[in-house]
Copies of this chain bind each other. A is one copy, B any other.
Amino acid sequence: MITIISGTNRLNSKSIELSKYYQNQLKKEGLEARILDLSLLPADFAFSALYANGGKNDEFNLFRNIIEDSQKFIFVVPEYNGSFPGVLKAFIDGLKYPDSFTDKKALLVGISSGIQGSALALSHLNDILNYLNMHVYGTRLKIPLIEKNFINGEIVDPKINALSLDQLKGFIKF
């Protein structure tokens, strides 16, 4: 069971669409995956589920439990302001510390509206996941111009599509 984290709380995001794409691709490989959609987090979680309130928000704990029960993760990460969404980091800040991600495995997929992509977003996230002792798959996929390259649930650019499938197949064996 792989958990796909749709890394934004923006509604109707490309991230959630791409998360579903990965769920479908995994199904084709005979693997089950669930999507963890950050847009479904309790709206006040950054106050009601962090620090002194860590573990006290039942609704947020459902998300914590999914993380703790999973061993492999795909992070679908949109670029916001030269990094990844603050909500994704706030979510991580609310997880059970220190071992929610220890010795587990992650695949990073970055998306951006612009041409110059999500390189910094994935670098920052990689630093954090390594701090938490998580193994990150070596190839980071970056999909620029997401509105043009990902349409109707398909990666339409053939080169990016091939990279995406290679990365995913590699991760399954990782």
A residues adjacent to B (C-beta < 8 A)? 9-11, 43-44, 46-48, 50-52, 80-93, 97, 103, 115-117, 119-120, 123-124, 126-140, 142, 144, 170, 174
Q: Do residues B80 and A85 form an inter-chain contact, with CB atoms below 8 A?
A: no
Copies in the complex: 4
Chain B residue, CB-CB nearest to A122: B130
Q: Do residues B52 and A11 form an inter-chain contact, with CB atoms below 8 A?
A: yes
Q: How would you classify the secondary structure of chain A's contact residues: helix, strand, loop or mixed?
A: mixed
Residue A119 contacts which of B97, B119, B126, B174 (CB distance < 8 angstroms)? Answer: B119
Which 4 interchain pairs have the tightest Cβ spacing? A82-B131, A86-B90, A86-B89, A43-B44
Chain B residue, CB-CB nearest to A131: B82
